[in-house]
Amino acid sequence: MFQIIHKRELNAQTTMLDVKAPAVARRAKPGQFIILRVDENGERIPLTIAGCNQDEGTVKIIFQKVGATTRRLGLLEEGQSILDFVGPLGRESEFGDVAGKRVAVIGGGLGIAIAYPQAAALHALGAKVDMIVGFRSMDLAILMDELQNACTNLIVMTDDGSNGHKGFVTTALEEQLKAGADYQRVIAIGPMPMMRAVCELTRPYGIQTIVSMNPIMIDGTGMCGGCRLTVGGETKFACVDGPEFDGHLVDFDEAMKRSRMYRDQEKISMEKHFCNLTGEAR
Ligand SMILES: Cc1cc2nc3c(=O)[nH]c(=O)nc-3n(C[C@H](O)[C@H](O)[C@H](O)COP(=O)(O)OP(=O)(O)OC[C@H]3O[C@@H](n4cnc5c(N)ncnc54)[C@H](O)[C@@H]3O)c2cc1C
Ligand code: FES
C-alpha cells in the first residue's frame, strides 16, 4: 500500500498528492509516469510523475478529476493509501544540450500538470524557457508560483480573456513565432487536437516539436498493445517507446480515433462505480 502524505486541492477539478513510494522516487526521471490502482475494484490509470522528494521518499502526482477513477482517487485523504503504484514507467525525456538555448513548453488542460516538470527540468539545465499555458478563466488557474519559477517567461492565455490575454495557447505561440522567436525545440503537452495544432504551427519553421502522447494504457509494459500509435509510419507503444515522440511524425488522426474507442464504457463505469460509491445522482 502507498500512503498519501500530503494532499492539496489546486482547484475544483485538480488535485495534487504526495505519495510515499521510495523505490519510485529513487529512480524517477522527467517525462516518466506511474500506473496506479486505487483499490482492488479499481482500473489501472497512468499519471505523470510531477516531482519527487528523495529525502521523504515521496512522488508527486497532479490529476484532473475527469472520470470514475480520478474522482475516486480525489476522495482519498492524507493518511489513506493507494493499493498499487507502479513505476517509473516510460522513457525519460531527452533534452540534449539546451544550455543557453531558447525553448517553448506549451501546456493545455491537464497537460499543464505534465508540462510543469518538463519546464522545470529544462530551466534547471540552463535553457531559456518560454512557458505558454492556457486556462478557461483565471479563476481556474493552478500552480502559478511553481510555473513562474520553472521558466524564464510565463505567458498565460485564457479563453474568456479574464487576465487580459484572450485566446488559445496556439495564439500565443503563433505570435512568438511571427515575432522571430528562435526556438531550438517546442514541447507540447495536452489534448491531442492542441498538440496537433502546435505541430502544424511549428512545421513550416522546421522547429523540432516533441509531444507527450496520452493514449489509453492498460498494462504499461508493451504487452497489451492498448497504447499503439503510428509514428513516422512505424508502430510504437507509448508506454515503452514514449510517451514523448517527434510530433511532426505522429499520425494524430489515428491516435484521436483510438482514444475515443472506449467512450461508452467510460460513461458506464462512471455511472456504475463512482455514483454507487458516492450516492451521486445519475
Ligand atoms: C502517459 C500518461 C500520463 C498521464 N498523466 C496524467 C497526469 O499527470 N494528470 C492527469 O490528470 N492525467 C494524466 N493522464 C490521463 C489520465 O490517465 C486519465 O485522465 C485517466 O486515466 C482518466 O481515468 P478516469 O477513470 O478518471 O476517467 P475515464 O472516464 O475512464 O476516462 C476519461 C478520459 O481519460 C482517458 N483515459 C481513460 N482511461 C485511461 C487509461 N487507462 N490510460 C490513458 N488514458 C485514459 C481517456 O482519454 C478518457 O476519455 C495521463 C495519461 C497518460 C497516457
Ligand atoms: S499499455 Fe499495453 S502496450 Fe502500452
Mean pLDDT across 125-132: 96
Per-residue pLDDT at 112: 86
> How large is the average pLDDT for residues 208-232?
93
Does 218 lie in the same domain as 152?
A: yes
181-200 confidence digits (pLDDT tens):
999 999 999 999 999 999 99
Dist. CA 260 → ligand 1 center (Å):
12
Q: What is the whole-number distance in angstroms between the Cα of residue 102 and the centre of ligand 2?
A: 34
Q: What is the pLDDT of residue 280?
A: 55
Asked if residue 54 and residue 132 are part of one domain, the reply reads: no
Alpha-carbon gap, residue 121 to 125, rounded angstroms: 6
pLDDT in tens, 55-106: 999 999 999 998 899 999 999 999 999 999 999 999 999 988 999 999 999 9
Q: What is this structure's pTM?
A: 0.89
What pLDDT score does 35 carry?
96
Q: What is the pLDDT of residue 273?
A: 59
Domain count, the chain: 2
Quote the ligand 2 centre to 218 CA distance (angstroms): 6
Residue 72 CA to ligand 2 centre (angstroms): 23
* 34 CA from centroid of ligand 2 (Å): 13
218 lines ligand 2 (CB under 6 A): yes
Domain that holds residue 179: 102-259
Task: Assess whether 253 and 167 both reside in one domain.
Answer: yes
106 and 73 housed in the same domain: no
pLDDT on residue 282: 44
Statement to judge: residues 123 and 215 lie in one domain: yes
Does a cis peptide bond (omega within 30 degrees of 0) precede residue 243? yes
CA separation for the pair 222, 238 (Å, rounded): 8
Which residue among 33, 70, 224, 236 has the greatest number of ligand 1 atoms within 8 angstroms of its CB, and so is best to mutate?
A: 70
75 and 136, same domain (yes or no): no
Quick one: average pLDDT of 251-267? 79
Q: What is the rounded CA–CA span in Å between residue 119 and residue 43?
A: 30
Ligand nearest the Cα of residue 44 is 1
What ligand 1 atom has the least distance to the C-alpha of 113?
8
Atom nearest to 222 CA in ligand 2: 3
- Torsion angle defined by CA atoms of residues 210, 28, 221 and 193, in that order, rounded to the nearest 10 degrees: -30
227 grid coordinates? 497504447
Is residue 253 situated within a structural domain? Answer: yes
| 46 pLDDT above the threshold of 50 | yes
Both 25 and 155 in one domain: the answer is no
Mutate to test the pocket of ligand 2, among 44, 45, 217 (most ligand atoms within 8 A of CB): 217
Q: What is the dihedral sign for C-alpha 243, 249, 254, 257? A: positive
Burial group, residue 40, by CB count within 10 angstroms (0-12, 13-18, 19+): exposed
Q: Same domain, yes or no, for 183 and 148?
A: yes
Q: What is the pLDDT of residues 145-176, one digit of tens each?
A: 999 999 999 999 998 988 878 899 999 999 99
| Residue 204: per-residue pLDDT | 95
**pLDDT averaged over every residue in the chain:** 90
Q: Which atom of ligand 1 is nearest to the CA of 44?
A: 41
Q: Are 132 and 111 in a shared domain?
A: yes
Nearest Cα residue to atom 13 of ligand 1:
47
CB of 216 shorter than 6 A to ligand 2:
no
**Residue 150 and residue 242 in one domain:** yes
Closest ligand 2 atom, CA of 223? 3
Tell whether ligand 2 has an atom less than 6 A from the beta carbon of residue 237: yes
Q: Look at residue 176 and tell me if it is in a domain.
A: yes
**In whole angstroms, what separates CA 228 from the centre of its chain?**
18
Residue 51 resides in a domain:
yes
| Residue 205's pLDDT band (cuts 50, 70, 90) | very high
Proportion of the chain above pLDDT 70, given as a percent = 92
- CATH code for the domain of 186: 3.40.50.80
**Ligand 1 nearest atom to the CA of residue 14, by list position:** 11
pLDDT at 277 over 90: no
Residues 6+ apart with CB under 8 A from 265: none
